[in-house]
Structure 1
């Protein structure tokens, strides 16, 4: 791929990220994405054979940056393991207070594609959520927490519940409440681990 075609692909993905996230995947046409990217629709089709391929690429492009953001919130937090987990939720609440925040792009896309479980973007979204869960489980295991996989799943449920509830109520306090619950769960797990040591 030449530099100019690579740049065109990046412009398409940047435009898709902005429009899909702001307006939803079904509401945005390829014509709108081409216009936002400053290219022709034919150029979009040169890089992506269909809108479905572009939706998949949109989520792939969000995968690692989102995971890195969660990891940085965790690693930069002061305190022990319970505080670090709570920091993810606290930072999410702060992000959700931004006027352009529209929720979790992965969950919103899954909701729009609920009648298409085999869609490639559904697989990307599921893999993204599993990567977060696996990362949490690895952090808990490294800290010596028993039943670390169960605890990671509980945190994921709280996180995705917070994403969904904030989207419904437009109230970031739900992420803070979920963070308090997650901190309590992790503190109990750490306390149980320390009692047995």
Structure 2
């Protein structure tokens, strides 16, 4: 029952924090939504900051898994998979309750407090997400997976920001096209690097 109550509190916090921001949501509102007393909430979380950290930790796992599903299985080429991932992001962003990336929003909202648990958790998540992209690109045979992962992560972040500003999901589609172009160039570099070379180091093209 204790774990069930804790989970209910975190889920209530996730809904309210994501919809309204970290600062504007009170502990009272979270307790009311979770159906617990304020005292019970503080029994599980010694402070609002601790609850914020728990909320972001829960989103960390679900966010990476969501993008993993969007990227799909390696039956298609990496550029095609990337286009599909950004198309799924565009579809997701078109939902009425979409508010962008909870981690970016938390970091921006608390930018003046770099030591805040939420800012640290956001940084940890972004590093983990980029590392996941790198692993996927490495498995997909990309020549420079670390570089490509950083470029694609930047395009995702930019697309999310533009969609929030303009309310236009076509920014995700455009970012996906750019990311696929980068991946195609990376794959082309891999093909060139694997070509046998002659005495002068020039590629020896074969049929």
TM over 0.5: yes
Q: Tell which deviates more after alignment, 150-159 or 70-79.
A: 70-79
Q: Partner of 2:55 in structure 1?
A: 58
Decide which of 83, 93, 112 is 1:96's aligned counterpart: 93
Point out 4+ residue stretches in structure 1 off by more than 3 angstroms. Answer: none
The correspondence of residues 25-36 of structure 1 with structure 2, limited to 5 A, is 25-36=22-33
Aligned pair 1:106/2:103, yes or no?
Answer: yes
Q: Partner of 2:187 in structure 1?
A: 190
CA distance in structure 2 between the aligned counterparts of 1:137 and 1:100, rounded to whole angstroms: 30
Tell me how far 1:117 sits from its aligned partner: 0.7
CA distance in structure 1 between the aligned counterparts of 2:37 and 2:75, rounded to whole angstroms: 49
Decide which of 71, 74, 77 is 1:74's aligned counterpart: 71
**Distance 1:147-1:78 versus aligned 2 partners, 3 A rule:** closer
Aligned length: 194
- Whether the 8 Å contact between 1:92 and 1:175 is mirrored in structure 2 is yes
- Whether the 8 Å contact between 1:82 and 1:187 is mirrored in structure 2 is yes
Q: Partner of 1:147 in structure 2?
A: 144
Q: Partner of 1:38 in structure 2?
A: 35
Q: Tell which deviates more after alignment, 133-142 or 5-14.
A: 133-142
Tell me how far 1:195 sits from its aligned partner: 2.4
Structure 1 unaligned regions, length at least 5: none
Q: Partner of 1:8 in structure 2?
A: 5
Decide which of 160, 165, 185 is 1:163's aligned counterpart: 160
Aligned pair 1:177/2:178, yes or no?
Answer: no
- Whether the 8 Å contact between 1:77 and 1:87 is mirrored in structure 2 is no
Tell me how far 1:78 sits from its aligned partner: 5.7
Tell me how far 1:46 sits from its aligned partner: 0.4
Greater percentage in helix: 1
- Whether the 8 Å contact between 2:104 and 2:122 is mirrored in structure 1 is yes
- Whether the 8 Å contact between 1:165 and 1:174 is mirrored in structure 2 is yes
Structure 2 unaligned regions, length at least 5: 195-207
CA distance in structure 2 between the aligned counterparts of 1:177 and 1:183, rounded to whole angstroms: 10
Q: TM-score, normalised by structure 2?
A: 0.90
Q: Partner of 2:202 in structure 1?
A: none
Q: Partner of 1:126 in structure 2?
A: 123
- Whether the 8 Å contact between 2:14 and 2:55 is mirrored in structure 1 is yes
